[in-house]
Each structure stands twice: as C-alpha cells, then as structure tokens.
C-alpha cells in the first residue's frame, strides 16, 4: 500500500496527548528507585541495621522508561501521516522535539556538574584542563557510550543518549513497515537481544559493558531491545482497546493483577540476586500493558495535577542526582558519617537542586524557543516546540 501523501500541517505538527496520571506517578517512583540504587552504590547501606528494604536492584527502573519511550514512539508513528520523501525529516523533527524538552535541564545541570567536578578534581595544568574539556564534549552533545574517549560529567544521561539514538533508528522502521515491524520484527528481535544479554552477562544492566566482541555498548543493545518491546506493547494495547473488555468483573481482575505485577516488580528491585532481572522485565511489560490499555481502575484517582507534576519533575530530578552525589562523595562534611543523617540530607539536596533546575529550565527553554524561532522555518519550529 502506498503511504498517504499528507499536507505539511498534518505531517509534522505534533499532536497533544493527554497525560496519564498513573503513568506519571510511576515515572516518579522508578526515577526514585534509580536514585536510591545509585546512592547505595556510593554510600553502601547495611539493610539489616538500617531497617530499609533497600533497592539493591533499583537500576531496573530504567527498563520502565525504555519501555515507555518505545510505546510513545509507536503512538506517534500510528498518528502521524508521512510520505516517502519526508521520512527522514519526520524522524529528525520528532527526535528534536524530544530533545527540546531535555536540553534546558541538560544545559544547566551539565554546566553545574562540569564546574563542580573541575573544582573537586582540579586539573593540575592547562594541558590537563584542556584534555578534560575535550573529553567532556561527547557528554555535552549527548553521545555517551560511543567508544570515543570521554569523561562522565553527567553519566546518568546515558539513558537519554541511547533513547534519542533509538528514536532515530526505530521511527523510520515504524513509519515504513509499521504493522510488520511492530507486531513481528520488533518483539522477535527484542526477545533475541534480551536473551543474548542475559546469557552473556547474566544481567540486564551494565553501563560500561560492551557486547559482540566489544563492538557495541550494551546500553545501545538494551535500549533497542526494550524500546522495541515498548513498540509491541502499543500494538497489544491498541488491540485490547478495540475489544469489549470494559466490564466490571474484567476491570476488577485487571486491577488486582496490575497491583500484583507492580508490587512484584518493586519486590524484585529489593533483591540482590540478578537471576530475577529478566522476570522483572516480563512483569513490567505485562503491568504497563494493563495500565496503558485502561482496563484497570484508578485512572480518575491519579489524573490530578499533582501526579502530572511528579511526572514532569522526574526528569530534572534524575539529572540532578549526579551533581549532588559527586559533591557529597568528595567533600567531607561533619555530622554526615551516619546514613540515618546522610540519606535524607543527600536526597533533600537532590530535590532542591531539581526544583531549581525545573525553575531555571523554563527560562532557558524560553530563550531557546526565541532563538530557534529566528533560525528555523515556521513549520519546523512548530513541529519541535
């Protein structure tokens, strides 16, 4: 079938999608899981003495975000009209649109982290400082983990780097071969890659690991596989929405299963045994499918401005953690020897910095919009911003 020749307005102007409060709530929950995991790596806790079921596998929260990114990518591909000639342009503009919501926080927090690390690690000569600047360039342009020598200024941005890369790879495939790719190719490749990762490295995580004879970063493979699964989730959700399943007994059962699945995922995140990680991914796919299909109850409860704010706050919160961790790891402050004191202080400082980033991000975004309005054609500007 020949693709629809669309008008420029239909083709590239992004369509507003109403936020799902329940999904926004889980964004915050799994963002916090990752932050708590990173805290435990830097300041190890003895869970028996500290009295918390600490998230020793909290890194699995990233899987939630990759799956969700794949789902929204497929949702965009389903709604947008395109022509063969506009395929690459549509892909670039969609990725730029994603980037436009990240850049304001990235610019502020990358700069702050660069300054903090420069002061703490204090390069001894001009040559050392110049080398430091050069190796920071990949991170500044969100091209982390390519194999180019780099300094991890904001190491946690690897997720954003890989997500954007996968948008550029997966969206053209979705637009060109939507049903075949989404329903057959994507889940088959995802299962194969996930199986390969688990077989060769035993875990889903591993930011610095490389696969296929050190040819490609594991984070790239992980992003491709899990966003492909997210694409498949969209297809399943679309099918479920067409079925007549909104009956009371179905919704009650779906809600109970949904709660069990999310609780099981959180339970696995407290488990140090890595053999359960792949089961976390399976359970998360099932849980997100139920949530996004609207079969469960609770949507009205979560569709509140507070939960929408939590979802928006998750990005600056996630990006703020590395700056604060770097500071507290390298600066000895009196009275912070106990985790009973250090944990709330560190987390509180991350929250404060994230609030500052969220506030300043609005002004940075406004400045960027003003600048790009002068540079870009109107239709491209409207598609991105």
Tell me the pLDDT tens digit for each residue of 53-63. Answer: 557 788 899 99
The C-alpha atoms of residue 239 and residue 232 are separated, in whole angstroms, by 11
pLDDT grade, residue 9 (50/70/90)?
very low
The C-alpha atoms of residue 309 and residue 251 are separated, in whole angstroms, by 27
**Does residue 375 register a pLDDT over 80?**
yes
Please indicate, yes or no, if residue 21 is contained in any of the structural domains: no
81 CB burial (10 A radius; 0-12, 13-18, 19+): middle
Please indicate, yes or no, if residue 7 is contained in any of the structural domains: no
pLDDT tens by residue, 273-327 = 788 889 999 999 999 999 999 999 988 889 889 999 999 999 999 999 999 999 9
Total structural domains in the chain?
Answer: 1
Please indicate, yes or no, if residue 19 is contained in any of the structural domains: no
**What's residue 48's pLDDT?**
47
Please indicate, yes or no, if residue 284 is contained in any of the structural domains: yes
**Does residue 237 register a pLDDT over 70?**
yes
Is residue 234 within 8 A of residue 78, CB to CB? The reply is yes
**How far from 262 is each of 5, 52, 259, CA to CA, in Å?**
42, 19, 5
What average pLDDT is seen over the chain? 88
**How far from 160 is each of 232, 236, 302, 363, CA to CA, in Å?**
21, 25, 26, 22
- For 296-305, b/e burial (b = at least 16 CB within 10 A) is beeeeebeee
pLDDT grade, residue 82 (50/70/90)?
low
Is residue 70 within 8 A of residue 229, CB to CB? The reply is yes
Is residue 98 within 8 A of residue 164, CB to CB? The reply is yes
DSSP string, 310-379: HHHHHHHHHHHHHHHHHHHHHS--TT-SSHHHHHHHHHHHHHHHHHHHHHHHHHHHHHHHHHHHHHS-HH
Give the 3-state secondary structure of residue 211. strand
pLDDT tens by residue, 11-55 = 554 455 678 899 999 999 999 999 999 998 888 876 545 555 557
**What's residue 53's pLDDT?**
56
Most confident of 92-106, 139-153, 333-347: 92-106
Please indicate, yes or no, if residue 186 is contained in any of the structural domains: yes
The C-alpha atoms of residue 335 and residue 326 are separated, in whole angstroms, by 18
Please indicate, yes or no, if residue 6 is contained in any of the structural domains: no
**What's residue 56's pLDDT?**
78
Please indicate, yes or no, if residue 312 is contained in any of the structural domains: yes
Lowest mean pLDDT among 81-95, 168-182, 309-323: 81-95
In this predicted model, which residue has the larger pLDDT, 105 or 120? 105
**What's residue 231's pLDDT?**
97
Number of Cβ within a 10 Å radius of residue 53: 12
DSSP string, 19-49: --HHHHHHHHHHHHHHHHHHHHHHS---HHH
The C-alpha atoms of residue 59 and residue 52 are separated, in whole angstroms, by 17
Please indicate, yes or no, if residue 52 is contained in any of the structural domains: yes
Is residue 269 within 8 A of residue 57, CB to CB? The reply is yes
What percent of the chain shows pLDDT beyond 90?
A: 60
210, β-bridge pairs: 217
The C-alpha atoms of residue 19 and residue 182 are separated, in whole angstroms, by 23
Domain that holds residue 195: 27-384
Cα dihedral 202→207→209→214 (10° resolution):
130
**Does residue 211 register a pLDDT over 80?**
yes
Is residue 96 within 8 A of residue 384, CB to CB? The reply is yes
DSSP state, 17? Answer: -
pLDDT tens by residue, 242-288 = 998 888 999 999 999 999 999 999 999 888 778 888 999 999 999 99
Q: How far is CA 362 from the centre of its chain?
A: 20
CA end-to-end distance (rounded Å), the chain: 32
**What's residue 4's pLDDT?**
38
The C-alpha atoms of residue 164 and residue 161 are separated, in whole angstroms, by 5
- Mean per-residue pLDDT for 175-190? 94
């Amino acid at each position: 079938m020949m693709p629809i020749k669309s008008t420029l307005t239909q083709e590239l102007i992004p369509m507003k999608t109403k936020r799902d409060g329940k999904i926004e709530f889980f964004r915050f929950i799994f963002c916090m899981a990752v932050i708590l995991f990173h805290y435990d790596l830097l300041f190890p806790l003895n869970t028996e003495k500290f009295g918390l079921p600490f998230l020793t596998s909290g890194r699995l929260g990233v899987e939630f975000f990759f799956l969700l990114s794949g789902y929204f990518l497929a949702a965009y591909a389903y709604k947008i009209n395109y022509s063969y000639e506009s395929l690459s342009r549509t892909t670039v503009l969609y990725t730029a649109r994603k980037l436009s919501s990240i850049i304001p926080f990235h610019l502020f927090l990358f700069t702050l982290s660069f300054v903090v690390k420069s002061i703490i690690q204090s390069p001894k000569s001009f040559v050392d400082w110049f080398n430091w600047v050069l190796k920071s360039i990949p991170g500044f342009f969100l091209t982390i983990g390519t194999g180019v020598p780099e300094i991890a200024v904001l190491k946690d941005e690897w997720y954003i780097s890989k997500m954007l890369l996968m948008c550029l790879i997966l969206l053209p495939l979705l637009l060109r071969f939507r049903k075949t790719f989404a329903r057959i190719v994507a889940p088959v490749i995802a299962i194969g890659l996930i199986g390969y990762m688990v077989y060769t490295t035993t875990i889903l995580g591993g930011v610095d690991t490389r696969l296929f004879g050190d040819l490609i970063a594991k984070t790239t493979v992980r992003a491709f596989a899990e966003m492909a699964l997210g694409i498949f989730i969209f297809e399943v959700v679309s099918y479920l929405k067409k079925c007549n399943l909104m009956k009371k007994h179905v919704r009650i059962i779906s809600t109970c299963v949904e709660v069990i699945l999310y609780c099981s995922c959180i339970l696995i995140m407290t488990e140090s045994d890595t053999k359960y990680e792949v089961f976390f991914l399976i359970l998360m796919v099932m849980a997100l499918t139920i949530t996004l299909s609207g079969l469960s109850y609770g949507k009205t409860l979560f569709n509140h401005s507070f939960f929408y704010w939590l979802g928006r706050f998750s990005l600056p919160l996630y990006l703020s953690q590395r700056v604060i961790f770097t500071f507290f790891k390298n600066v000895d402050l009196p009275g912070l020897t106990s985790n009973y004191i250090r944990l709330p202080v560190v987390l509180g400082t991350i929250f404060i910095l994230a609030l500052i980033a969220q506030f300043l991000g609005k002004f940075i975004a406004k400045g960027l919009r003003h600048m790009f309005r002068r540079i870009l054609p109107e239709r491209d500007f409207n598609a991105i911003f």
